[in-house]
């Protein structure tokens, strides 16, 4: 793998390395098309804080927003971020054996 690829992955991990942003991306994967108000109610943090996290995710090309009337609905667009979240937050249906 080339150094540039490692740099891209490292930058992606930096952006995803905040609990609120992990939660936002995970939530958007489970429920695409959410708006800021919905995310704010799920996260229990101020709407301005959610907007700041969304801005970082957008600038890293992890999510995109599409205007629908007065709302902006967000979805995850970065395939590598999707894989990372799925691996990190995979729910196990069985208890691992010892």
Contact 24, 49 (CB under 8 A): no
Q: Which residues on neighbouring strands pair with residue 76, listed in sequence order?
A: 63
Domain boundaries of the chain, sorted by first residue: 3-88
Angle among Cα 68, 45, 91 to the nearest 5 degrees reads 85
List of residues 6+ apart from 80 with CB closer than 8 A:
8, 9, 12
More confident residue, 39 or 95: 39
Tell me the pLDDT tens digit for each residue of 19-69: 999 999 999 999 989 999 889 888 889 999 999 999 999 999 999 999 999
Cα(57)–Cα(22) distance, rounded to whole angstroms? 10
Enter the CATH code of domain 3-88.
1.10.10.10
């Amino acid at each position: 793998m080339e150094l540039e690829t490692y740099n891209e992955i490292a930058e992606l991990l930096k952006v995803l390395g905040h609990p609120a942003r992990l939660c936002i991306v995970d939530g958007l994967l489970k429920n695409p098309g959410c708006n800021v108000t919905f995310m704010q109610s799920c996260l229990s943090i101020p709407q301005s804080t959610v907007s700041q996290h969304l801005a970082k995710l957008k600038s890293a090309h992890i999510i995109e927003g599409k205007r629908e009337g007065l709302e902006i609905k967000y979805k995850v667009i970065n395939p590598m971020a999707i894989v990372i979240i799925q691996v990190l937050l995979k729910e196990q249906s069985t208890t691992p054996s010892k």
